[in-house]
Amino acid sequence: MRFIILILIFISSAISSPLQDAINNAPANSILKLSSGTYKGNIVIDKPLTIVAKNGEVIIEGDGKKNVITITSSFVTLKNLTITGSGNKKYTIDSAISMNSVKKCEINGCKLLDNLYGIDMAMVNNSLIVNNYITSKEADIELRGNALKLYYANNNLIKNNIIEKSKDITLNYSHNNTFKNNKFIYNRFATHISLSNNNTFIDNTYKYNSVSILIMGAKNTTITNNLIQSSKGAAGIGVVINGVSNFKFEKNKVCFNAKGIYIDGKEKAKGMKRYINYNEISHNGEAIHFHATVKDNTITHNKFIGNIDDVVKDTENSPTNNLVEYNYWDRYAGFDRNHDNIGDTTYEIYQYADQLWQYNHKVKFFYASPIMTLLNFMSNLAPFIEPNLILEDKKPILQSL
């Protein structure tokens, strides 16, 4: 009998986690200060608790299975930790940190390395994700997990994080969240918003993502003062807008993308849907690309500089119900006789010979080539086919201030 007891004690000691034991034994609302070193992960925090690095680098390392840290209690704080070694299974959403049905938690100053998913936030409310560095496992981008996965997660602040080389950052049915001063670099969909309302994105930097911002079926989204630059590849897009209502896109810089802003309008939609104001949209292949319809847009006080095409559409219907005025277009060639910095004539954007590649993408091989440039010049000079009016700015600005 004594021999069996000794074996059980040995096995229990071998598989136990000192950190988990400390969590289990700590009273609620305790602060665990960890000295530098590596601690066994796959821990569960089921009470209000703070875990913070006392000094040096504190690593919580999973065993390559499931979640490294699972949080099932509200009022949990993780601070200045390195969290690594999650599992590899997407169907179980193996994550560095899994949070479920909690509120008022804080992940602050942590490094999330070599995990499938970064932070899985299911039904997480009123929480802070701040000052963290999040990346994924080394794999093809399709095989990586999401850096942040918000699902029915509301009223959270995501601020001052660096998120790179992950797959997506997603918001599904998640409302009233604020993303501020984050950097999204080398991801696929750096921000994918679906059926989520009243979210705000301010002062963020997007670089080298396949698509920086993708918005589908969202209401009252505000995107202000962000840098959206250098989306990767020939199909790299800065912003995709589909099925939105009261979408405000203001004071952003959108530059060096194949497509700056891609708008998928709805033919049956009614009322103004998109407000694109006070932005700099510069040096893109296409500044604005309209798909399906050109309607329900307010586009004012923007600067269009150095784009190959300022406005493109890939359908043959006419624009309706748009307010377009007070924009600066570097292609506008008009006069200002009363010196009010507003052109005496409207700026009309037509599709000439280059409409061929809009409707037949095999012709796109010649895009921006000398022959296409010559065809466009001749079509402007003496159109041999009826050009299509895409957009009209009734009060174009002559000088960009």
Per residue in 121-136, pLDDT (tens digit) is 999 999 999 999 999 9
| Domain co-membership, 193 together with 60 | no
Q: What is the rounded CA–CA span in Å between residue 375 and residue 54?
A: 68
Indicate which CATH number applies to the domain containing 78. Answer: 2.160.20.10
| Domain co-membership, 160 together with 207 | no
Instruction: Give me the pLDDT at residue 143, please.
Output: 86
Distance, CA of 372 to chain centre: 34
Q: Is residue 97 part of a domain?
A: yes
Instruction: Give me the pLDDT at residue 101, please.
Output: 98
| Domain co-membership, 155 together with 270 | no
| Domain co-membership, 206 together with 254 | yes
- SS3 for 316-344 is CCCCECCEEECCEECCCCCCCCCCCCECC
| Domain co-membership, 117 together with 232 | no
pTM: 0.88
Model confidence at 261: pLDDT above 80: yes
Instruction: Give me the pLDDT at residue 140, please.
Output: 86
| Domain co-membership, 306 together with 371 | yes
Q: Is residue 11 part of a domain?
A: no
Q: Is residue 183 part of a domain?
A: no
Per the structure, the complete domain to which residue 52 belongs is given by 16-167
| Domain co-membership, 109 together with 51 | yes
Residue 304, strand partner residues: 281, 329
| Domain co-membership, 226 together with 369 | yes
| Domain co-membership, 194 together with 309 | yes
User: Mean of the per-residue pLDDT values for the chain?
Assistant: 89
Q: Is residue 5 part of a domain?
A: no
Q: Is residue 177 part of a domain?
A: no
Give backbone dihedrals phi and psi of 12, rounded to 5 degrees, phi first. -60, -40
Instruction: Give me the pLDDT at residue 248, please.
Output: 97
Q: Is residue 9 part of a domain?
A: no
| Number of independent structural domains in the chain | 2
| Domain co-membership, 88 together with 203 | no
Model confidence at 359: pLDDT above 60: no
Q: Tokens for 177?
A: 């969240």
Instruction: Give me the pLDDT at residue 375, please.
Output: 58
| Domain co-membership, 210 together with 154 | no
Instruction: Give me the pLDDT at residue 321, please.
Output: 87
Residue carrying the six token digits 């963020």: 204
| Domain co-membership, 163 together with 195 | no
Q: What is the rounded CA–CA span in Å between residue 90 and residue 248?
A: 34
Q: Is residue 1 part of a domain?
A: no
Q: Is residue 131 part of a domain?
A: yes
pLDDT tens per residue across span 212-232: 999 999 999 999 999 999 998
Q: What is the rounded CA–CA span in Å between residue 26 and residue 33?
A: 12
Q: What is the rounded CA–CA span in Å between residue 316 and residue 269?
A: 18
User: What is residue 144's three-state secondary structure?
Assistant: coil
